[in-house]
Amino acid sequence: MTDSEQNNPPAGAEVRPMPKRYGIGLNVTVQIILALALFAGVNRLNYYHFWRWDLSPSQDYTLSPATLKYLDSLSRDVQINIVFSRDSKVYGEVQSLLEEYHLHGRQRIKVRSIDPVRDIERAEQLKADTGLSLSQNGVLIRCGVNKRFITEEELVVREKGTSTNKQIVEFRGEDAISSALISVVEGRVRRFFYVVGKGSRSALGLSEAYNAAIDLGKQQNFEVVQVNLSDINQIPPDTDGLLIMGARYDFSEREIVMLNNYWQSKRAGMFIMLDPGGETARLNAFLTANGVHPRGDRVLMAESTSTGPRKEFSVMGEFNKEVPFIHHLSSSAITFAGQTESLELVKENSSLKEQSISIRPLIQAAPRYWGERQFLEELPIVDEEDTLPPIYVAASIERGALGDETKRADSSRMVVVSNPTLLDKQTMLAVSRDFAAASLNWLMNRENFIGIPAKSKHSYRIQLTSKQHELIFWITSITLPGIVLAFGIMVWASRRAA
């Protein structure tokens, strides 16, 4: 249509007034305002109502049901500071994990990240407020006046060996952080007495067991205090537990009376690792009176091979799937180094029933093992005096247990392991530590927080050929940018033609 036709329309044609410029501008303005309002509304709705999916292979960023349950019942405000340098290998995992705590903490948990290298002023202020040196990476958890600083090494498990650059094989962040959170909110530090003065198979073994107990205390938030029973008159009634690990020498009658008085109290806990080579007749009698009898044999497997007799003392065990506090370990296997004796579980006993004592096996040796009396022989064989499978090497004892779960917090509990090397640094496996941690939590009546698993770390390497490298280059540097450029030219040409 020409300009003359537009100015002089045909006779009888309807004449429509041209829209004014301010009307067009107002219409566009209203559309922009409505679009911005819609954009802001959708973003606000998305900020408060959204779904999250953890697509990592081992569910690295998914909190366990135990932690979620505790966060849902949290009644006090908690401040968490991530004191990490950005170049730490676990910084990203720690930050992502604590974001989950913040999201599920019902506004009770506040998380702040501080890089002591870059945020010097904030780091110095935190030092002044807490009195901590903050000389290494870690997570600081505060609730009121209570505080707990978890170092980076407490959050990870490194590979064994003497190398100075050990790789991280497991991330135990949730386990350590949840335990610390419970500690600062409760406001009371649990205390275990580590019994000394009874010897050990070696000075190194004694030191390693004690250091392992301290490490477990840091992770599970209890303190370990050494005690010599010959120096005290009674075990304090507020003691959360006793650790008797690999005693070689027997307890005196007075000390056994002290153990028995503590065990008969309303709430007691004992974790006992027996040394089959020790002379502990009174301690064994105390255990027998409570339903677990150490037999004094050796659990082993022996066979004749083409190269001669083969005798194996290292015992592979399986966890009892019916025991709740080690249920999360039921799919794992555990290995005991050194020598182990079998345990006889006395269940049908009127005296035990009168005391409401219940005994449950925790770890059972694999079927190929048996309890051998003549274990010093070159090739032992099974005879009448030996113990045939099932062979139990760990058991739990609970006194005063009632059917009502709400009243079980008042029961006394004991875990007996018939091997002294469970926590040796050189032979300890991750599952050994997990079993010890679960047992100690059970002794402290922390069943709700047992079973927070460690996250295994995996390294993946992708090897590409030269042709694959060339293909990736053409796709990312030529093809995709070319498609975007061609689409832009098409849009420009279409607008130009209109």
Q: What is the pLDDT of residue 324?
A: 87
Give, for 467, the enclosing helix (H) or strand (E): helix 466-473
**Type of residue at 485:** L
Q: What is the pLDDT of residue 150?
A: 85
Alpha helices in 264-416 (DSSP H): 281-289, 350-354
Q: What is the pLDDT of residue 14?
A: 58
Tell me the per-residue pLDDT of 93-107, one tens digit each, with 9 for 90 and over.
Answer: 888 889 989 988 888
- Is the CB of residue 450 less than 8 Å from the CB of residue 325? yes
Decide: residue 13, CB within 10 A, 0-12 exposed, 13-18 middle, 19+ buried. Answer: exposed
DSSP 324-342: GGGGGGTT-EEEE-S----
Among 80, 74, 66, residue whose Cα is nearest residue 112: 80
Q: What is the pLDDT of residue 388?
A: 92
Q: What is the DSSP letter of 265?
A: S
| pLDDT tens track, the chain, 498 positions | 555 555 565 665 555 555 566 777 788 888 999 999 999 988 888 777 767 777 766 666 788 777 888 888 888 899 999 999 888 888 888 888 899 899 888 889 999 998 888 888 888 888 888 887 878 888 999 888 888 888 888 788 777 666 667 777 778 788 788 878 887 887 777 889 999 888 877 777 777 788 888 887 776 778 888 999 989 988 887 788 999 998 999 999 999 999 999 998 878 899 999 999 889 999 999 999 999 999 999 999 998 888 888 899 999 999 999 998 888 888 888 999 889 999 999 877 888 888 889 999 999 999 999 999 999 888 888 888 999 999 999 999 998 865 544 455 578 899 999 999 888 877 777 788 888 888 988 888 876 655 565 565 656 567 778 888 899 999 999 999 999 999 989 988 887 876
Tell me the per-residue pLDDT of 42-53, one tens digit each, with 9 for 90 and over.
Answer: 888 877 776 777
Q: End-to-end alpha-carbon separation of the chain, Å?
A: 15
Q: Work out whether the CA dihedral 66, 69, 73, 74 comes out positive or negative.
A: positive
Token pair 């709705």 is found at 45
Per-residue b/e over 381-415, b at no fewer than 16 CB within 10 Å? eeeeebbeeebbbbbbbbbbbeeeeeeeeebbbbb
- Domains of the chain, first to last: 189-444 (3.40.50.880)
